[in-house]
Amino acid sequence: MEQDHETLRTNQARAGETPHIVRYILLFSVTIVVVIFAALLFFWSR
């Protein structure tokens, strides 16, 4: 059974607009994790 598919070049497949919200969510998430680990370290080291 042969499947018909369209072959796109890389720049055609990636032609959509990429919002920068992913970068901000990643930055926010990493900051939250660092704060939580710092709080755990502070409270457990007492």
Q: How far apart are CA 3 and CA 45, in angstroms?
A: 61
Query: pTM to 2 decimals?
Result: 0.58
Q: And the tokens for 25? A: 């969510």
Residue with the two structure tokens 């939250």: 32
What's the confidence (pLDDT) of residue 5? 80
What's the confidence (pLDDT) of residue 16? 66
Domain ranges of the chain: 19-44
The 10s digit of each residue's pLDDT in 15-28 is 666 678 888 999 99
Q: How far is CA 25 from CA 11, 22, 37, 39, in A?
A: 25, 5, 18, 21
